[in-house]
Every structure is written in structure tokens, then in C-alpha cells.
Amino acid sequence: MQLATRAATAAALVLGLTATVAVPAFARPPGPSGTAAVSRAADPAGTTPRGLDRKALREAIEDLPNPDATAALVRVGGGEGTWRGSSGVHDLVTHRKADPHGRFRAGSVTKIVTAAVALQLAAEGDLDLDAPLQRYMPELFKGAKSGSGKDFDPIPVRSLLNYTSGLKSGDGFDDEFAHRYDTLDPRTVVASAIAKGPEHAPGDEQHYRNIGYTVLGLLIERITGDSYARQAAQRIFRPLDMDDTCFPGADPRIRGPHNRGYQAMERADGTTRLVDVTVWNQFDRFAAGDMISSTADLETFTRALFDGEVVPRPQLKEMFTLPRLAPGVPEAVFGAGLQHMEVGGRDVWLKTGARHGYVNMIAATENGSRTLVYSVNATDAKGEGMNPVAERIARAALG
């Protein structure tokens, strides 16, 4: 399992959205009994999965908050039993315990919901995965030319699902933090991507980007005549009783119980401060990353998805099928949304997601015998490499 690591963030920190309030960020004030006010991992009696290293899981999350993360919520499940744990604090001002049922920004885990809705439409005969996107949304390409002046090649819908469309990334805000309360319409993002022309012919290469799933969200709206958010709710969230899951649209807040998210930012003098980034308008991420959820809801979704309850089995195979690419390019690692990885001799299919303040993962073996869902309040959620706390959790649960 190739999981990158990063150096720890500097410990001189300041908290605040606009105000600068100095706090001992990682000090843990004593609770009523004199112990640290931080929740500990919980092991439901008699239900721990066989072979699961409970000690490693506890150790993965027990030192929070630390420079890498302020909280972590973990659920391990599957046919072999369950393990649940939480650690850290709700916020760095009160230092009260992290809420184990807290909601968070799921980031690119959203893409699996989008893929599921698209595959449902394919199963119902309303969406042809082999048909070109241009058939469904010709207006997107009106007047658009490639760098050589030629028309875009036909872009199969399937290539949007498996990241082989050749579409380049769309433009966003140059300084995301400065514009965190502003609204950027996903249609504007798509228009800017198509204006750049294709990077390669559809199907030749696989590049992980948001743009294909942003387009899929618009395609779902075109086919159904309904909003993407309502379709996701009607088809997935409500049938599975995922009451903590929603699309906030342009609302920058996380409604309901949640733990605060922080981002480490460097000052001019080289020291580091933590900024509360919980409130952030993510509308431009749309069907590629705008979802809010909880570990309980994502565990429910993961089990149902891998059990064939969300997407019919013939279409579900798309998620577990790696596309063949052009000769000489790196092999594909993504099917329709899900990424394939070999961990400890077993095949695991997973999807990670990160928005400022939160990094998340859903993962499972194809037969559902082991599942993992976590959300970590990372202080560098969009940094290079895997968050050290998240890496420890993944190794303990899947390794």
C-alpha cells in the first residue's frame, strides 16, 4: 500500500476566521475527572472484525488534537463485525470532545454518489454510457475547437465516469480562501474547461480531475429535468435513510452537528497559524465534491452500494472495471469513480475526498467483508501526500 507521508505542521498557531485569537491549540484541558477532554475509541463488545488490530486503530487516533489533525471519526465494518472510534476535539477554543456523529464536507467522496445516480439512469435505459456527451449536451461544444483547430472528438459518457474524457480542468478562483464566501456556478467552470480544448483523445489516458463529474451532474439534470441534488436525495439519501447527507448549494455553512475544520497557513515571518475554515461556499464543486455527510451515513451507503442495493449488478460492474488505455501510458487505477488498490494481499476499492478542514475515505473489499469510513479534521487537507492520521487509520483498518 503506497501511502505518502508529510512532515508535521509547525506548532506556533493562531485561530480565527477574521480575528486573530491566540490559543494553545493542542493543549488538552483536564475534564471533570482530571483526564484529557478527548473522546476515545469505542469497541462494541463481541463485534470486532476478525484479524483487526484494535490497538493500532486506537493508537492511530488517540493523540488528537496534534499538528496534523484536530479530530477523527472512524467506522470499520463488514461481514466480520464492526469497530467504531472517535478522538479529538470539537473546536480549539472550548476543547470539548469531538462529536462522533458530526457532519463534514465529504469532498470527492461525492463522486461515488454521482456515479451511482448516472449508473441508475443507465440501468433504466435513460442514459447510454457508450453515447457521446455531445449527443446529450451539444450546446456545451458549440464553437469549441481543439488546439489544432479541429472539433472535439466524441466523448463517451463512460469516459466521464472513469476519468478518461480528456477534458482539462476548469478555472476557479485564484485565491480560494479569499473567495470562500463567493458563489461560482459550475456551468462557468465547465465552459472554461471546454474552451481550453481537449488534453488527449477520449479513452487514451486517465487523469483524476473534478471536471468529468461536474459535467455528469449537469448531464443528470438534463436527462431527468430535475436538479442533481434532488435526484441524489430521491434515489439514494432518502431510500437509505441518510438523514445527515445533503448538498448545501451556495450555503457556506454545515447545518447540524459538526466538528470545526482548520487549515494551517504560513505567515510572512515563516511561522504558522491555524484558520477556522468550517464556513466555506463549495457550490463550484457541485456533483464532484459539494456533499455534506457523516460517517454513519457513508457507512450505510458503502454497505448498500457494495451489496448491489444502490446500483443494479450489471451496471455496478462499471465501478470495478479498469479501462484499457493507449499503449505506453500508465495503467488505469480508477473504474467508474472507485479506485483499486491492493492492501495486505487483498483487493480494496475506495474513494477519498478532501475539502479544507476535512479529509475522508470510504473503502471496502469487493465482497463487502471489510469496510472502512473515516473523516479526519486535517490541518492541511489539500496538501500533497496523505495526512499522517488518515494514513495510520487506513493501514490499521485495511492492512
Confidence (pLDDT) at 266: 87
Give the integer Cα–Cα distance in Å for 252 and 214. 19
Confidence (pLDDT) at 61: 96
Give the integer Cα–Cα distance in Å for 25 and 188. 39
Confidence (pLDDT) at 150: 53
Letter for the amino acid at 211? I
Confidence (pLDDT) at 24: 40
Confidence (pLDDT) at 312: 97
Letter for the amino acid at 307? D
192 burial level (CB within 10 Å; 0-12, 13-18, 19+): middle
Confidence (pLDDT) at 309: 97
CA distances from 315 to 196, 239, 299, 308, 322 (A): 32, 19, 21, 10, 14
Confidence (pLDDT) at 269: 87
Give the integer Cα–Cα distance in Å for 364 and 250. 32
C-alpha grid cell, residue 331: 495503467
Domain ranges of the chain: 37-109+243-264+282-398, 110-232
Residue with cell 469496510: 371
Ranges under pLDDT 50 in the chain: 1-41, 44-46, 146-148
Same fold, 37-109+243-264+282-398 and 110-232: yes
Q: CB–CB of 180/284 below 8 Å? A: no
Superfamily name and number for 37-109+243-264+282-398? DD-peptidase/beta-lactamase superfamily (3.40.710.10)
pTM over 0.85: yes
C-alpha grid cell, residue 84: 467504531
Residue with cell 479534521: 377
Note the CATH architecture for domain 110-232. Answer: 3-Layer(aba) Sandwich (3.40)
